[in-house]
Structures are given as C-alpha cells and as structure tokens.
Structure 1
Amino acid sequence: MTYTVSFASVGEADAAVDAVDDLSDVLDDATLVEGSITTSDPALTAVLDGDQLAVTGSVPVGDTVTVSYTVTVDEYDEQDNHHLANVVGNPDGSCPTGGCAGTENPVRHISVTKSAAPTEGVQAGDTVEYTVTVVNDGGAAYTADDPAVVEDDMTDLLDDATYDGDAVAVASDGSEVPAPTFDAPRLQWSGPLAVDETLTITYTTTVTNLGDHDLVNTAGPVCSDPEICDPPVEVGTLLSHITPAKSSDPDSGEAVEAGQVVTYTLSWTNDGQTTGALDSTDDLSDVLDDAEMTSQPVVDEAHAGSITAAFDAEAREIRVTGDLAPGETVQVTYQVTVLPDGERGDNVASNVLTPDAPPFVPPGDCGDDCPPPFEPPTTRHPMGDLDDWKTVDPASGTTVQPGQVMTYTLHFENAGAAPVEVERDDVLTGVLDDATVTSEPSSPDEAVSASQITDGRFTVSGTLEPGQHATLTYEVTVNEDGARGDDRLGNFLVGNGEQPPTECVVTDPERPDCSVNHVFAVVVSKSSDPDSGAELAEDDEVTYTLTFENVSSNADSEPTAIAYTDHMVDVLDDATLTAGPTSSRKEVTAVVVGNTIQLTGAVPAGVMTTVTYTVTVKDYGEQGNHALGNVVAWAGEEPVCVADSPLCTANELRRPTREHLATRKRLATRERLRTTAWPARVPSRPWWPWQRCCCWAPVPR
C-alpha cells in the first residue's frame, strides 16, 4: 500500500510544516518498504522514528508538497489486529485546525481448512467425502464484485479416485451462495462472504485405486497479484493395494484323474502405501463335487500369527482374513484329492478366489479408455470319466440253447471333460467252457481296439475324447450237448489285470459290468397286465404271468426240471397278493415263501407252462417306494434285471388326485350305508312333542 500525505500552503506566506504521521497501527500489520519514503519537494523532509514519521520544513505560498511511502501487508498470521490505520497530527498528538488527516484499511482474509472421511481402511470402490471450510476471519467482507475465491486441486487425487460431481456450498448464515464449479482437476468456488461468515463445501469421490495408491489433494484461497494467500492445506489418505493370486500343481488347465492330488497356492501381495485387510473367500463348491479336501489350508510361517485361513465344509469355502503390511506377500496352501470315476459331479474342478474388496475399480466415465475390470483369479482342472458296461443278446439272465449265437457288446463312454484312457479287460473264462468264439472282438471306432484273446480274456485299450462313446462287439456260439462245461455263461468287464468277482451282481441295470446266461431247454419269461412301464394307481390290480417253455424238439426226451425264484420284495411293499399263484400244469408248483414265489417241477419237451398271480396296489399312504418291481431268476442265484430283459417288470405308482380321493370317499360312504343294520321305527309313543312315535327295534337286512 502506498500512502501519500499532502501539505498545501493556502495563506499569504510560506507555510511552516511540523507534523507527525502515526504509523503505529500500520506497522503492526505491515512492513515499510525500505527507501520508499519520498517528498515531492526538498522543502520538506520526512524521517521515520520508530513508528512515527516526522515531517518538517515549509511549503511556498500556493504550492502543495507531498510525502509518500509504501508498506507491504504482512502475512495474516504475522499481523496484529488485521487493521491498517494512521493519522497525521501535531508532534504533541493534537490535531491542527481543520482536524487530523488519516486513513483506515481493514485487512481481508479467509481461512481454509479441509477434512476427509473416512481416512483409514479405505478400499477400492469406497466413497470418501471431503469437506472444505472457508471462514472470513478478516476485517472486511468479500463482495460479488470482489469475491472470495477458493480452489481445491485434485491432481493427485483423481489418479486413484473419480469425482462424483456432487459438490455443494452452504453458507453459515443461510444466504444463497454460488455453486462450486469443476474443471478437472480443480474444484473452485467464488462468491461473496461476509465478515465472520463460514462457507462449507462438500463433495465425494469414489476410490478406483488405479494410481499411486494415495488420495492427496489441496485446498486454499486464490489471490490475484500482488496479494499473497495462505498456503493451501493438504489432506492425504493412504491406500493399501492388495492383489490376490492363485496357482495350482498341476497347472490350471491340465487334466487330472481319479486319486490325483492337486495342490493349490493362494497368495496376496500389498504394493500399496499402507496396511490393509486381505479378507477373501476361496469358493470350492465346484471343486468338492469332484474331489475331497485332504490337506487343510496352511498359512506361511511368516504370517501364521496375523493371517487366518479356515475351511468351512458346509459352505465349501475357505475364508482367509487378516491385515497385510505394505511390501509383503502371504501364501496359503491346501490340497484336494480327485474322487474315483463315477463318484464325481461335473468332472471339472473349478474355483475362484474373490476378495471382499477388489484391488481396483475402473472409473465409470472412462469410455473406451477404461481398463478391464478386475477378474478374481481362478483355476480349472478337467477330468476324464470313463463309464463302461456290457450287454448281451439274448439278454443277460435269459436261457440259451445249443447252437445259439450270442452277441456281446462292450460300451465305453467318456462322461468327463478331458480325454480319458481306456484300459479294461473282458473276462470270458465262464463263457468259453460252454461256447466258442465265432466272431473276434472288433470295433467300428478307431478310438478303441482289442487285443487277442489269451487265457480266456482280452484287453480293450484306447483314448476317448469328452463325450465320445465307442463300442466293441464279438460273438460266441453255444456248444452242443456233451461239449459244454457248467452250462452257465458268465462274463465280466473288469479293470486291466483285475480278477472278476465270483457272482454277477448288477448294481446299475442300465449299465451292467457283467452278464450271465444258462444253457437250458426251458425259455423263461415274465409279463404283467397292465404292461411293464404302465403307471398305476392305488387299488389297481396287476396280474403277473410267468412262462416256462421247453423248446426241445426231441419229443422222447425226459421233461426238463426247473427251479426258479420270483422275487417280489419290491412289489409287496406297495401291494398285497390277492390271487394265486396258480400253475397251468400240475407238473409245476408255485409256493409263496416270504417275499418270493418258489417255482419247481418239470416241463416236457414242446410244452409251455404258465404261473399267474395277482396283486392289488395299497393306498398311497401305506405304500413303500411307490414302485412295483420284480424279477424271476435261477434259484439260488442273484437276480439279474437289465434293460429290456424279459425276466423283470417295473411300474411306477402315481399319487392320487383330489378327484380320486373324493370319489373314493363317496364310494366308501355308499358302501357303509349299504351294509349298516338300520333300526325300524314302531309308532307307540311321542317322538316329538307334536308327533307320536314308539320305541326302536333293530330289524334284519
């Protein structure tokens, strides 16, 4: 500020000057610029003594002589009363005629503070709110023509966050104030601000954590030259940047097989600016349908006390929690073992490690320049799943005759998601004592091939792609009488080098691993009315017919003895035997023993004998598994029921409808009314007060 003191001579003679400019209330808030005291005429001298500027000399008649000097206003926190005032008077402090000349200049000033919330534990995707507080703590108001200006510089903030565009300004006195404006990377407010008034500016940002992993921005007043503003205030929030990773041995993408151990390694690296939570979930739901946990998760030794890893068997997940310091990496390892073929789910062990908070979040307004979103690390291990079975024509369990050709078909299917090796043995020992191979094993599929038959067995080998189904067939012809062994053709499909079981026990009728056929003159079959496969309801009747036909053409041969068992255990849990069993010929007897019918006797050559019996389906609530299933088998052997076998039947039982229940209730009521012995009324005494009635006596129906 430049001050000018003017002395004018308005009298008839030179005017003497002896005055003092009191700068005490100027120099407490400002500093005199050295060498700035000047006079316009040597007739006056001006000398500063302390904070008093003494001016002496004379001014010629009619002239005006000036004294000027310049001060620089001190920084606000170095000022005293923020008010520059001075007065020119006599040396004794009195005012000359006309009064003391003086000036007053209050110092304008705004104070700016800034805060952020939250400041700790901030992660990608979080919202951080900033508050800029502006206070006019100076001596004069800012006006619309000469406004206060505040700027928030977000240069070092927007590399790790996006501005949400929601800045608002509110004055403490409730007055309407202009809205803040944003011109990246700066937010600015400009407007009037009265003395002692406070302005609050708030806005939010969304953390992306794509930069240097700290949120730093500055806010302060904006001044025009030569005004010097207070330095801006800085607010900083440090961010952690924890990136999860996952690896496996074997590597992700490699195929694994039954019994193989897969080792998983989870890791987290913090290359951020502060300690942060690595809390994450490793989802094993699509692993544990194909494998079992055989080694629990273990945290590396350096972090065993600060990081925890816990396996939740019910949720099928591993939960890893704890804080990781900047610059550190932690690892967690565990193992699973692949389940056997046929016991797995989708044959793909896939899992994903998902952090509670991703290491970064792409901004929402970056258009084509957006970085790809964070993808949680995953691993994937496909598995081949070999399913094999065999069929024979005529069906397993049926009888065959000398000279009959039997066709065996081996099936191999890869139900998995990776190629699978085929290495299986077909054991013919129980066939070749009663039959001769007349067509060697061969396959129309190049994927599998058969070795030569050696010691009653051959090996099928090859490779099947996912979903591929290959077959291999061969034929045998049943030997004539006198050239057979035990008249029982038993055949087993087993693992390479394995020994077959002693009995053919079928666990999956659709895909059996064994077959058995007896060489016998009597052909046995079974049927039902309604047909097998028909859906039945409660109270329905089912009539079963067992047929024994001796197909021998030698009329002079002795009748062929039979001994069969009809297994009814899966019928009588849902139905009641209500008729039979009845044999069409006296030579064959049928006796109920427990849940079976024992069939014994003899069938002459060229004769067909039948045995029939009837069951009635129980009420739905009294049924067992709501299905009727039975099979006739050679006495003393395990029953064999394979697909399309003539030896067994199956019927599903449906749940009764509301209409059916209502009809049954009406019929039951009608039957009860029909069979009840109702009493007869004999008039003899009053029945109602106005009627005469007699006693009641029962009468016969």
Structure 2
Amino acid sequence: MKFANDGTAEAPVDFVDLMADVLDDATLVEDSITAEEPLTAQLGDQRLAITGSVPAGETRTVTYQVTVNAADALGDQQLGNFVVPADPENPGTEQPPAECEEGSQLCTENPVPLPNLDVAKSVDPASGTAVAPGQTLTYTLKFANDGTAEAPVDFVDLMADVLDDATLVEDSITAEEPLTAQLGDQRLAITGSVPAGETRTVTYQVTVNAADALGDQQLGNFVVPADPENPGTEQPPAECEEGSQLCTENPVPLPNPSPTPTEPTEDPTPTEPTEDPTPTEPTEDPTPTEPTERPNDDLANTGIAGFSTAVLIGLVLLGTGTMAVIVGRRRNQH
C-alpha cells in the first residue's frame, strides 16, 4: 500500500486494510509485514490498522505477503482486498464495498482458478450386459474439466481382467489431443491435460475370445489415478461397486451342454391280468388198500416171461428129484 503526500504539510494516516477475503484463501507469511516510518501497521482480527503520517512531498509504503492455500483449503477462490478509512468512533467495524470497481486503486482481486476434472468410463454394450465369444466391445474414457483452470491428467486403465477373456483390436486405441494413451503390461497409461471447460476422450476396442480361450469369463475394467512414485504398481479395487463410473463389468456366460434326446420306446401293449383260478377244496386221501397178488394169467404171455416160468419150474423139479434121490439112499442104507 502506498501513501503519497504531494501536499505542502504532513499528512496524517489512519486506514484499515481489510484482509478477511484474502485470508480465507491464503495464509499470511510470517514476519512479512513492513511499514516505513513513521507509519505503523498492526494486524488484528484479519484487519491491518495503518497509522502514522507522511511528510509533505514524500511517500511511505506498507507491504505484506500471503501464500495461496492448497486446493482443498481454499475459500471462495477469490483473494479480495480493500483498504478503507478507519472509523475512529467505531473502530473494527469498517466494511468493504460490495465489489471492487474496475479502475479503483483502493482494492485488488485475484481469482484462484482451479481445475475440476471428472473421470468416467463406459463400455458398449453397457456394463452388466452379458457378451459372447466373437463379440466386440468399445471402451470409452471421458475426462471432463468444468473448472476454471487447465486440468492435468495422469490415470491408468487396468486391462488385465479384460485381456484374460478378450483380445485388443489392433490400432483401436485413440486419444484426443492433448491426451496420450500408451499401452504396456496390460495397462493403458493416459497422460496430458484438459483445458478449462472442455472434455477429452480415449477409446479402444476388444473382441471376446473363443470359448476355449476364456479366462474367468468376466471382463472387468478399472481406471485409477496413476502413482507417480511407484508407476506400474497401481491395483484395482476389490470389486466394481454398483453405480461407480470408474469401472465396468461384462460377464461371458457359456451354455451348459445338454445330452442329445433319444426317441422314447413304445411300451408293450399291456395284457389283461388273468384271474386266479378258483381254489378247490382239498380231497381226503383215499383209504389205502392192501395190494393183491396178480394172477399168473394176468401177466402178459411174452417170450421172456414164458422162459422165466419154464426155468423156475425146471429148478423146482430138479430140486424135487434131488431130494427124492437123497431120501431113497438113506432108506437103502437102513
């Protein structure tokens, strides 16, 4: 702040520098406040009270420094600073004007433009859609910057869980300038920047492998921020959460083989069951009779039977004759 006195007498100084709209976005550098004598500058409650005087025809200055905060510690992203006359009757109640009018030398404004990068990936057919061997899928990564400053881009598209089930279509990787996309070790490194208020895209295509060349039958794809300190070590999340715009999933279901149906054989014509015969009452066993001798004349008069009879008669006669001879001899001996 410059206090110039081009008059002919010493000029008193009693002003307040309102720093509230600076210190919501920045931090005062320690010991940076300086005031040329006979001026003094006293900080309190985000107000810098400047008092003293400036000799006739001379100039005195007061300076200080601030450092803009990190992006996540900013306020309204506008460093607005006003110097106003002090109110001696109500010190500490001074307020800035509604705005810093163009050309005013009593105020300054410095915006803090920031990028606001939104990253989203999609696939056609849409995530969750089942795909089949031989089908081609198109992946699109969109980098949209709706902030007020150029947005740097440094992301990695992790393709390992895609390329175990599919093959990258040759020359299908495209990146809109100033983005670049470099494939290596099943990772697509995407770097560059996106101008404020603009969008850039990266696309590529894959074709699903044949059934006998599939991996886990799930095309899972994740885009993650690059790790500049450990490049190539980025890992995907444990799962693709529902509604996430940083991942896609497409299952590759395969039909289960079913046996070839055979023609049914005709059942034989059923036969009528036969009725069980009516059981009969058991009859009493007949009273056994003594066997009777069969008379000789009942035998069949065959040659063998006649021969047997003759032999038997002969034996009888022979025995009778023998007995008669023995008896006769015994009588003659007496």
Q: Which TM-score tier does this pair reach, normalised by the shorter chain?
A: 0.5 to 0.7
Is 1:388 aligned to residue 133 of structure 2? no
Is 1:490 aligned to residue 220 of structure 2? yes
Query: CA offsets per residue over residues 72-100 of structure 1, 9 Å max, x none?
Result: xxxxxxxxxxxxxxxxxxxxxxxxxxxxx
Asked if the contact 1:299/1:308 (under 8 Å) is kept, the reply is no
The code of the aligned residue for 2:66 comes to Y
SS in 1 for 2:148: coil
Asked if the contact 1:450/1:461 (under 8 Å) is kept, the reply is yes
Q: Choose which of 189, 194, 198 in structure 2 pairs with 1:468.
A: 198
Deviation at 1:300, TM superposition (A): 2.4
Q: What is the aligned partner in structure 1 of residue 15 from structure 2?
A: 278
Which sections of structure 1, spanning at least 5 residues, go unmatched? 1-267, 312-317, 359-371, 522-551, 558-701
Asked if the contact 2:115/2:150 (under 8 Å) is kept, the reply is yes
Q: Choose which of 324, 347, 351 in structure 1 pairs with 2:79.
A: 351
Asked if the contact 2:79/2:112 (under 8 Å) is kept, the reply is no
Q: What is the aligned partner in structure 2 of residue 307 from structure 1?
A: 41
Query: Matched residues in 1 for 2:133 and 2:3: separation?
Result: 80
Return closer, same or farther for 1:462/1:396 CA change in 2, 3 Å cut-off. Answer: same
Query: Matched residues in 1 for 2:250 and 2:187: separation?
Result: 18
Return closer, same or farther for 1:320/1:295 CA change in 2, 3 Å cut-off. Answer: closer
Query: Matched residues in 2 for 1:339 and 1:414: separation?
Result: 15
Return closer, same or farther for 1:505/1:334 CA change in 2, 3 Å cut-off. Answer: farther
SS in 2 for 1:431: helix
SS in 2 for 1:284: helix
SS in 1 for 2:210: coil
Is 1:457 aligned to residue 184 of structure 2? no
Return closer, same or farther for 1:374/1:339 CA change in 2, 3 Å cut-off. Answer: closer
Return closer, same or farther for 1:455/1:489 CA change in 2, 3 Å cut-off. Answer: same
Query: Matched residues in 1 for 2:51 and 2:241: separation?
Result: 56
Query: Matched residues in 1 for 2:147 and 2:31: separation?
Result: 31
5 Å matches for 1:31-180?
Answer: none
Query: CA offsets per residue over residues 30-49 of structure 1, 9 Å max, x none?
Result: xxxxxxxxxxxxxxxxxxxx
Which sections of structure 2, spanning at least 5 residues, go unmatched? 87-102, 261-334
Return closer, same or farther for 1:389/1:478 CA change in 2, 3 Å cut-off. Answer: same
For the pair shown, which has the larger CA radius of gyration, 1 or 2?
2
The code of the aligned residue for 1:353 comes to N
Q: What is the aligned partner in structure 1 of residue 210 from structure 2?
A: 480
Deviation at 1:502, TM superposition (A): 3.2
Q: What is the aligned partner in structure 1 of residue 253 from structure 2?
A: 520
Return closer, same or farther for 1:298/1:490 CA change in 2, 3 Å cut-off. Answer: farther
Query: Matched residues in 1 for 2:52 and 2:222: separation?
Result: 59
Q: Choose which of 96, 108, 114 in structure 2 pairs with 1:377.
A: 108
Query: CA offsets per residue over residues 482-505 of structure 1, 9 Å max, x none?
Result: 312222322221233360333245
Report 1 or 2 for greater relative contact order, CA contacts < 8 Å, sequence distance ≥ 6. 2
Asked if the contact 1:404/1:478 (under 8 Å) is kept, the reply is yes
Asked if the contact 1:299/1:330 (under 8 Å) is kept, the reply is no
Q: Choose which of 156, 177, 188 in structure 2 pairs with 1:425.
A: 156
Deviation at 1:391, TM superposition (A): 0.8
5 Å matches for 1:541-620?
Answer: 552=255, 554-556=257-259
Q: What is the aligned partner in structure 1 of residue 295 from structure 2?
A: none
Return closer, same or farther for 1:322/1:373 CA change in 2, 3 Å cut-off. Answer: closer
Return closer, same or farther for 1:344/1:277 CA change in 2, 3 Å cut-off. Answer: closer
Asked if the contact 1:297/1:310 (under 8 Å) is kept, the reply is no
Indicate the structure with greater strand content.
1
Is 1:407 aligned to residue 145 of structure 2? no
Query: Matched residues in 2 for 1:345 and 1:405: separation?
Result: 48
Return closer, same or farther for 1:324/1:379 CA change in 2, 3 Å cut-off. Answer: farther
Query: Matched residues in 2 for 1:325 and 1:299: separation?
Result: 21
Is 1:437 aligned to residue 168 of structure 2? yes
Q: What is the aligned partner in structure 2 of residue 47 from structure 1?
A: none
SS in 2 for 1:482: helix
Asked if the contact 1:409/1:474 (under 8 Å) is kept, the reply is yes
5 Å matches for 1:636-675?
Answer: none
Q: What is the aligned partner in structure 2 of residue 329 from structure 1?
A: 61
Q: What is the aligned partner in structure 2 of residue 615 from structure 1?
A: none
Query: Matched residues in 2 for 1:382 and 1:278: separation?
Result: 30
Asked if the contact 2:153/2:194 (under 8 Å) is kept, the reply is yes
Provide TM-score, normalisation by structure 1.
0.29
Deviation at 1:477, TM superposition (A): 1.8
Query: Matched residues in 1 for 2:200 and 2:35: separation?
Result: 53
Query: Matched residues in 2 for 1:556 and 1:310: separation?
Result: 88
SS in 2 for 1:473: strand
Q: What is the aligned partner in structure 1 of residue 285 from structure 2?
A: none
The code of the aligned residue for 1:357 comes to P
The code of the aligned residue for 1:457 comes to R
Provide TM-score, normalisation by structure 2.
0.57
Query: Matched residues in 2 for 1:495 and 1:555: separation?
Result: 46
Is 1:416 aligned to residue 147 of structure 2? yes
Deviation at 1:553, TM superposition (A): 8.2
Return closer, same or farther for 1:270/1:294 CA change in 2, 3 Å cut-off. Answer: closer
Query: Matched residues in 2 for 1:338 and 1:461: separation?
Result: 22
Q: What is the aligned partner in structure 1 of residue 272 from structure 2?
A: none
Query: Matched residues in 2 for 1:500 and 1:334: separation?
Result: 39
Query: Matched residues in 2 for 1:395 and 1:345: separation?
Result: 39
Query: CA offsets per residue over residues 613-639 of structure 1, 9 Å max, x none?
Result: xxxxxxxxxxxxxxxxxxxxxxxxxxx
Indicate the structure with greater helix content.
2
Asked if the contact 1:400/1:517 (under 8 Å) is kept, the reply is yes
Return closer, same or farther for 1:425/1:294 CA change in 2, 3 Å cut-off. Answer: farther
Asked if the contact 1:298/1:334 (under 8 Å) is kept, the reply is no
SS in 2 for 1:356: strand
Asked if the contact 1:299/1:309 (under 8 Å) is kept, the reply is no
The code of the aligned residue for 1:308 comes to Q
The code of the aligned residue for 1:437 comes to L
Deviation at 1:464, TM superposition (A): 2.3
Query: Matched residues in 1 for 2:185 and 2:120: separation?
Result: 21
Query: Matched residues in 2 for 1:355 and 1:306: separation?
Result: 15
Return closer, same or farther for 1:438/1:556 CA change in 2, 3 Å cut-off. Answer: farther
Deviation at 1:441, TM superposition (A): 1.3
Asked if the contact 1:309/1:332 (under 8 Å) is kept, the reply is no
Return closer, same or farther for 1:461/1:306 CA change in 2, 3 Å cut-off. Answer: same
Q: What is the aligned partner in structure 2 of residue 661 from structure 1?
A: none
Query: Matched residues in 2 for 1:457 and 1:449: separation?
Result: 13
Deviation at 1:271, TM superposition (A): 2.0
Return closer, same or farther for 1:374/1:306 CA change in 2, 3 Å cut-off. Answer: closer
Question: Identity of counterpart residues, as a percentage?
Answer: 28
Deviation at 1:436, TM superposition (A): 1.0
The code of the aligned residue for 1:410 comes to L
Return closer, same or farther for 1:325/1:461 CA change in 2, 3 Å cut-off. Answer: same
SS in 2 for 1:377: strand
Query: Matched residues in 1 for 2:74 and 2:210: separation?
Result: 46
Asked if the contact 1:431/1:489 (under 8 Å) is kept, the reply is yes
Query: Matched residues in 2 for 1:482 and 1:469: separation?
Result: 40
The code of the aligned residue for 1:331 comes to T
